[in-house]
Structure 1
Amino acid sequence: MPPPSAVQESFPVSHAAPSAVPLSRSSWLKRMLRFAGPGYLVAVGYMDPGNWATDLAGGSAYGYTLLWIVALSSVMAIFLQVLAARLGIASGLDLAQACRAHSAPRTVVPQWLLCEVAICACDLAEVIGTAIAFKLLFGIPLTWGVALTVLDVFLVLWLQRRGFRYLECVIVSLLAVVTACFGLSLVVAQPQLAGVLAGFVPSKETITNPGMLYVAIGIVGATVMPHNLYLHSSIVQSRDYVRDDAGKRQAMGFATVDIVGALVIAFFINAAILISAAAIFHVNGHHDVADLQDASELLGPITGVALASTVFGIALLASGLSSAVTATLAGQIVMEGFVRLRMPPWARRLLTRSLAIVPAFFVALLYGEAGVTKLLLLSQVVLSLQLPFAMVPLIRFTSSRKVMGRFANRPAVLALAIAIASFIIALNGVLLWRLWAS
């Protein structure tokens, strides 16, 4: 077991945050409120522009049918994020550090590169979503909007200099904006309750219909984000809990409440997007709305609410900006944990954002909005394909007594973890087989 100081190796800004959590002399509610925060930073990744595209595509094309995939993805996400938090608290290592410490040396760099691919795919979605928000709200051309997203480097720098707790408050405020906007969208959409409830019943067609399967895997990839497993296992250690068994157990309880609450909100937002798309677009014969801009332009005329498009754009911008911040944190944690390579936050953010901007810029320039939308959906499928490379090590480490001590997964938890991993890997296998066969 590494000493407490080892937790400061990866992303020291977060771990040095002065957010002490007294575990013995205050009420449970006060301790919980002081511990809360990491879950909401993680939840940002579960409602980023990539989620919007896949949920819009699913709702407009197939109505409420894929709601059960949104619900199942959210349950799997909660389970995996709880495992990630337990790993960080019990071992004092984030997932990237654990991979480096407990993997064969020759596999460390390939694992790191695969994780970087996932982070770039996630950042690509944020670039596209933010650029579309700029166009919707300010009329900025898509190519210029893509270029302007590089400026979020300064947002990240400013937030980090203000302190980690301040960063958390800003992120929670942006999430509140997104939540309010989609609460309003549900009111405007007026969905049919019977149809919504039926959508939560699993359907065989999800597997047998190639188009539906592709969107379903995109929803899984957009919901269960691989880089969030690395992020959560690190930032949960920013809380100053007692590093003995009793303190760790209590910290795990707080972390579980924190992430469940945050991801329930994320589930509400994802479900609201799909339900709104089904009620507004699918019901009215618009079955191919996956383009975020088309969705915004259609909202006003179909619903008769002039502000609907503006509210959509505000929520999209808030989502893109908040996701940009957490992607930077995850990238820094992954780079330092796997290869112990440290870069200034602005340099790390500029590098990741550049890798996302280049393909987005040329696709927008050559193929316009339709090409950008296809690139956005593709990025979410890439995330799903990358997920096993983070998920399997997480399950392995949290089930190891060498890593976790007495907090290692019990047999029932391990069985559930294997079932979830098998389901996701099987979905990916079916998708790859269909792509190869076609």
Structure 2
Amino acid sequence: MQDAASRLKDIAEQVLGAPLPVRVRAWDGSEAGPPGTPVLVVRHRRALRRLLWKPGELGLARAWVAGDLDVEGDLYRALDLLAEFIWERGEDAPGLVDSLRDPQVRAAARSLLALAAPFVPPPVPREEMRRHGRLHRHTKGSDRQAVSHHYDVGNDFYALVLGPSMVYSCAYWATPEATLEDAQRDKLELVCRKLGLRPGMRLLDVGCGWGSMAVHAAREHGVRVVGVTLSREQAAYARKRVAEEGLTDRVEIRVQDYRDVRDGPYDAISSIGMAEHVGAERYLEYASDLYRLLAPGGRLLNHQIARRPLRDESAYSVDEFIDAYVFPDGELAPLGTTVSLLERAGFEVRDVEALREHYAHTLRHWVANLEAHWPEGVRLTSPARARIWRLYMAASALAFERNRIGVNQVLAVRTPENGESGLPLRAREWRA
């Protein structure tokens, strides 16, 4: 009789229609597959039950989060080898686990069912976001819940991953050898220059996080800043940081929904890594609200992750792993859609800068920080939460590198009726 690893390898290759690109180690200690490759460790039969009870990426994610499934060796290489079968088979082709629904691989499913016995439903990891239907997405209440799920996991954990800058968005790398701190400072300075900040101006920082942009803008450019976030933990950290910098007279941090900001007009608005939470059905409202809050001639810097467009946009669906464990209700839109909606809201879009490779490099630094302090990261959250963040960040780095997703800074202006945008003729120099 075959050992468990050989049986798993045969089943996987029957489903894939191709040789398994990684080695497999099963719960009985047996191994099978190509030597010298990362090892996919199936620690328990329960991992198979999770895949059978929830075919698709969510079942795979639950097995990873629970520790039933692991990778020994280079995680990036393992994900790279498996990407073709899980994520990159084209719009019309099923992924690795989804193909179990195909009648042609029912025999493989029966073999997997026999190997997974007893066939009882495994418990859902407690880190998974619980929902009661999807009819009320992107209300103020649901957005507060989603933001809390992602950001209120401990400021100390984020400090470990992000480093002292506490900037949770793409850095701007002058050279690959730059430090993460320097690259994040350079990103904040780039945003300030694009916005043309000058002493005495009012800046609204939407989704202000831990206050990095607000502090930098006030300290380096002499502006008055209002930062809004839905995370109470972020706000508490940001307020403490503002006080330590001696900037309480120039920076106000609020726990507030951007839809509730009523004290415009502002001279400039920064939205860095926040718009991904808005949702397609709310995006025009988001853009219109920011347009309303800007003074004529004011600038918006919208820094946002984008996905590649599909032939059939109606077929778009969110990533199950990220939706359940990382960014609940987060949605990515193609860059063209974002630009069109900003224009519909009244903005004149003046510049778009793509930073895709910069985000891949940033994510690899964050993963390295987590891996270098793994026991501490587990202590600050939980083994499952640390595993979620490691997989999410490593997979995201590869997605940026493979051009599955990108990130763009869109500079838009509330151009006054006389058409004077206030931008220099050579805008790329970013002088006010």
Q: Name whichever structure is richer in strand by fraction.
A: 2
Higher relative contact order (CA 8 A, sep 6+): 1
More helix by share: 1
**Range into which the TM-score falls when normalised by the shorter chain:** under 0.3
**TM norm structure 1:** 0.23
Q: Specify the structure having the higher radius of gyration (Cα).
A: 2
